[in-house]
Amino acid sequence: MIAVAPSRSWFKGKPGDLIEIFCWGYHHWAVYIGENEVVHLVNEGGQSSGWFKNLSRSTGKVKREKLANLLGLKGYRVNNLLDEEYDARDPSIIVKEAYAMVGRELQYNVDTYNCEHFANEMRYGKAESRQVCI
């Protein structure tokens, strides 16, 4: 299901869920931590993951934000895409570790460690991206 945010109390996800946000040419990924907030990895320019050459290798920063601030008019969905392959970690651990990452700078690479790698690492302990074709 793809949705757009109509109001402040619109989202009914559970802490530890992965949120896939649809953008032009790519999808951005975040970890839902509750209270309509997410933790996500953005590149050094403050933008989400993308398929642009200038974003292929840079520094990323882990941020905590209101989900609605990321969506604008973009669609989104809860997408715990690897649940059939891996056991999700306990939601309290996912949230605790995501909080602990906020403010950290990480090497950002579209191919090897982007926002989807980060989100999957938080939920499953596995840094994987399905939108990267290697």
- pLDDT of 55 higher than 90: no
Residue 10 pLDDT exceeds 70: no
Domains of the chain with bracketed CATH: 18-124 (3.90.1720.10)
Partners of 54 in the beta sheet? none
Cα 33 from Cα 94, distance rounded (Å): 8
Q: Which residue numbers are catalytic?
A: 28, 40, 115
Q: pLDDT at position 107, please?
A: 92
Query: Between residues 74 and 122, which one has the greater pLDDT?
Result: 122
H or E stretch at 107: strand 105-109
pLDDT at res. 1: 47
Reported confidence tier of residue 52, pLDDT bands at 50, 70, 90:
very low
pTM for the model stands at 0.83
